[in-house]
């Protein structure tokens, strides 16, 4: 028998350990690791040979962790699924009884105990060859007194002889305290996990909503996010060249992943007709239809004029020749305007001059004269490259500013504090010619460079859109190389993308998304 002084010292030591364990449990964020540690620490406290832990799920107890020194058996926790079937949430089993009643069971010998006649321990012994004797089974209650699960300890061992003994009243009291701390820790981990899952769902719903505003860019954000993470992990795995010493932490990878999902969130304020502007005259509709109608009216007015002149006695043959010439010119001008309306890589000076000549011509309607092209139509049709005017391009570019502004309003955790910076820099260029802030190479993080490269890569690789044709992989890679040569994109990242043929993963992602879409229809 230990002296009262030794017993008091042992109790004081165990209380200190209980406090240390409580702090350690509250700091753990991995649920599987937490559950494993709860059983491990509870066994150390009570010198138990074995222990297990169950969590309540709906109308059953789900087996999570089991540890047994004598059988050298350790399952669950970080080791994954146990394969053990759930236990009914009723009084038929030891753990079920404790979960339902909320009582703590301290049984000296399950074979001789007359109050509780549970068959479970003896069945386990017959199957495993183990000999269960003493048991301490404690409900895990959180701060709201809700039972989250059951902690089960088996066969307390005498520290001197190693023989099985019963669990003491002190064991029972300390384990009840530990079980309460464990329940709070489990709730905290679940709360963090559920909050992260909610945030993740919100991010992806927002991204999907932005993508789906346009039938042409649907899935862009998801593809960018997936390829971004593939390239980031490739950087981590790189063991040669300038990228060999770079290793992103899990937090940095999470930060990049969230930034990739949210990089286009600013497009929520961008009008669809600008995003999808298929032709130079497109607004909420393609105004080439107005020109066609106008030219039909001009043709009709020309016909009336010539007919009136014939009625006034002018030479019919001469009028017929003039008619052919004027109508052919109208048709040619309209065909030219339709071609000019389509976006291209470059508009020649001669074409701009012809537009100005057409705009200088006038027609009469309702007794008033009008130019054949309004100043606004002339400005739009004179766009040298693409389909956007400078003001429309600024509207597009402003989405990066809006992205930064919106993300800065979100109270990100410390581990996600750079999401706004990374997401808002995906249109920056190494030479400082990008937007919205004109950052230079030393101001652009590697995460932002990865996102910028993948964003351009995915956009170039997209199928036909109203404002551009689909490109072959060779053409896409050539353009990316030109962007590197122009000091816009990171050449080391492009080299990694090409050498490891990571660009092929984009087609796999597209195929998987197509299959998922088919399955949801």
Pairing outcome for strands 87-88 and 105-107 = unpaired
pLDDT digits (tens, 9 = 90+) for 497-517: 998 888 888 888 888 877 776
Considering 256-260, 278-282, 498-502, the range whose residues carry the highest mean pLDDT is 256-260
Q: For residue 468, is pLDDT > 80?
A: no
Q: What is the mean pLDDT of residues 211-216?
A: 66
Q: What is the pLDDT of residues 375-430, one digit of tens each?
A: 999 999 998 888 888 888 888 888 888 899 999 998 888 889 999 999 999 999 99
* pLDDT higher than 80, residue 291: yes
Q: Give the model's pLDDT for residue 510.
A: 80
Tell me which DSSP letter residue 46 carries: H
Higher pLDDT, 22 or 1: 22
How far does CA 78 lie from the centroid of its chain? 25
CA–CA distance, 460 with 474 (Å, rounded to integer): 11
310 phi/psi in degrees, rounded to 5:
-65, -40
CB atoms < 10 A from the CB of 266, how many?
A: 23
Q: Which residues contact 29 (CB under 8 A, 6 or more apart)?
A: 189, 192
* In the predicted structure, residue 25 carries a pLDDT above the cut 80: no
Residue % of the chain over a pLDDT of 70: 90
Question: Between 24 and 105, whose confidence is greater?
Answer: 105
Confirm if 293 and 356 have CB atoms less than 8 A apart: no
* CA–CA separation, 302 and 300 (whole Å): 5
Q: What is the pLDDT of residue 5?
A: 61
On whether the CB atoms of residues 205 and 48 are closer than 8 A, the answer is no
> What is the biggest distance separating any 2 CA atoms in the chain, rounded to whole angstroms?
138
Count helices and strands in the chain by DSSP H and E runs: 18, 10
Which pLDDT does position 97 carry in this prediction?
94
pLDDT digits (tens, 9 = 90+) for 349-361: 999 999 999 999 9
Give me the pLDDT at residue 79, please: 73
Extract the runs of DSSP E, i.e. beta strands, from 89-134.
105-107
Percent of the chain with pLDDT over 90: 48
In 3-state terms, what secondary structure has residue 56? strand
Please choose, from the candidates 393, 380, 302, the residue with its C-alpha nearest in 3D space to the C-alpha of residue 343.
380
Query: In 390-495, where do the E strands start and end?
Result: none
pLDDT above 80 for 273: no
pLDDT at 519 over 70: no
Any idea which residue has 């406090």 for tokens? 19
Instruction: Kindly report the average pLDDT of the chain as a whole number.
Output: 87
Average pLDDT for residues 6-16, to the nearest whole number?
61
Mean pLDDT of 311-331: 92
pLDDT at 502: 86
Q: Is the pLDDT of residue 4 over 80?
A: no
Using DSSP bridges, classify how beta strands 147-157 and 48-57 pair: parallel, antiparallel or unpaired: antiparallel
β-strand 135-141 against 147-157: which pairing, if any? antiparallel
Quick one: 405 exposed, middle or buried, by C-beta within 10 A (0-12, 13-18, 19+)?
Answer: middle
Assigned token pair, 291: 């020109």
d(C-alpha 521, C-alpha 519), whole Å: 6
Q: Give the dihedral sign, CA 247/251/253/256.
A: negative
Backbone angles phi, psi at 405, to 5 degrees: -60, -45
Max mean pLDDT range (151-155, 237-241, 276-280): 151-155
Q: What is the pLDDT of residue 267?
A: 85
5: left (phi over 0), alpha (psi -120 to 50) or beta: alpha
Bridge pairing between strands 60-68 and 87-88: antiparallel
Which among 225, 171, 373 has a CA at the least distance from the CA of 287? 373
Question: pLDDT at position 414, please?
Answer: 87
pTM recorded for the entire structure: 0.70
Angle between the 220-237 and 250-262 helix axes, to the nearest 10 degrees? 160
Mean pLDDT of 106-122: 88
Please, what are the domains in the chain? 4-191 (3.30.450.40), 213-275+391-520 (1.10.3210.10), 288-387 (no CATH)
Report whether pLDDT(146) > 70: yes
Strands 87-88 and 73-76: unpaired
pLDDT value, residue 98: 95
In angstroms, the CA 158 to CA 169 distance is 15
Determine the Cα–Cα distance for residues 264 and 204; give it in Å rounded to an integer.
12
Confidence of residue 338 (pLDDT cuts 50, 70, 90): very high
Those residues whose C-beta lies under 8 Å from the C-beta of residue 507, and which sit 6 or more positions away, are none
Q: Does 191 have pLDDT greater than 90?
A: no
Q: Which two tokens stand for residue 423?
A: 């997401």
What pLDDT, on a 0 to 100 scale, did the predictor assign at position 466? 56
Are the C-beta atoms of 266 and 403 separated by less than 8 Å?
Answer: yes
Residue 99: pLDDT band (50, 70, 90) is very high
């Amino acid at each position: 028998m230990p002296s009262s002084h030794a017993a008091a010292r042992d109790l004081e030591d165990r209380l200190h350990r209980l406090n240390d364990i409580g702090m350690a449990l509250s700091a753990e964020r991995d649920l599987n690791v937490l559950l494993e540690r709860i059983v491990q620490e509870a066994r150390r406290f009570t010198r138990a040979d074995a222990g297990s832990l169950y969590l309540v799920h709906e109308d059953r107890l789900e087996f999570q962790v089991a540890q047994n020194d004598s059988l050298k058996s350790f399952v669950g926790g970080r080791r994954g699924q146990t394969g053990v079937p759930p236990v009914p949430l009723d009084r038929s089993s030891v753990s079920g009884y404790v979960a339902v009643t909320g009582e703590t069971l301290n049984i000296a010998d399950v074979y001789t105990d007359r109050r509780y006649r549970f068959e479970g321990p003896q069945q386990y012994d017959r199957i495993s060859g183990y000999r269960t004797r003493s048991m301490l089974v404690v409900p895990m209650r959180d701060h709201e007194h809700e039972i989250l699960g059951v902690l089960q300890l088996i066969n307390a061992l005498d520290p001197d002889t190693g023989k099985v003994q019963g669990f003491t009243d002190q064991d029972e009291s300390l384990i009840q305290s530990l079980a309460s701390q464990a329940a709070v820790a489990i709730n905290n981990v679940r709360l963090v996990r559920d909050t992260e899952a909610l945030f993740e769902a919100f991010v992806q719903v927002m991204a999907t909503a932005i993508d789906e505003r346009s039938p042409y860019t649907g899935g862009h954000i998801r593809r960018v996010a997936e390829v971004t993470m593939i390239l980031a992990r490739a950087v981590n795995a790189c063991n040669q060249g300038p990228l060999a010493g770079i290793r992103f932490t899990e937090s940095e990878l999470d930060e990049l992943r969230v930034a990739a999902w949210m990089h286009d969130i600013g497009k929520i304020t961008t009008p669809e007709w600008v995003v999808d502007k298929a032709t130079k005259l497109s607004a909420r509709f393609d105004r080439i239809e107005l020109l066609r109608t106008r030219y039909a009216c001009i043709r009709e007015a020309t016909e009336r004029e010539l007919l009136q002149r014939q009625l006034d006695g002018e030479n019919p043959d001469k009028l017929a020749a003039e008619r052919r010439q004027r109508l052919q010119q109208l048709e040619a001008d309209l065909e030219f305007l339709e071609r000019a309306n389509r976006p291209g890589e470059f508009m020649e000076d001669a074409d701009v001059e012809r537009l100005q000549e057409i705009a200088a011509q006038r027609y009469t309607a309702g007794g008033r004269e009008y130019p054949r092209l309004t100043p606004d139509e002339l400005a739009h049709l004179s766009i040298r490259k693409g389909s956007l005017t400078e003001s429309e391009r600024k509207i597009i570019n402003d989405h990066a500013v809006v992205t930064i502004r919106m993300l800065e309003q979100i109270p990100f955790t410390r581990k996600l504090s750079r999401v706004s910076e990374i997401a808002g820099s995906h249109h920056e260029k190494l030479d400082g010619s990008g937007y919205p802030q004109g950052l230079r190479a030393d101001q652009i993080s590697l995460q932002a460079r990865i996102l910028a490269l993948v964003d351009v890569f995915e956009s170039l690789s997209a199928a036909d859109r109203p404002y551009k044709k689909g490109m072959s992989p060779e053409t896409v890679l050539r353009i990316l190389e030109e962007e590197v040569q122009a000091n816009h994109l990171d050449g080391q990242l492009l080299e990694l993308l090409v050498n490891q043929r990571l660009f092929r993963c984009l087609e796999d992602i597209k195929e998987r998304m197509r299959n998922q879409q088919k399955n949801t229809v």
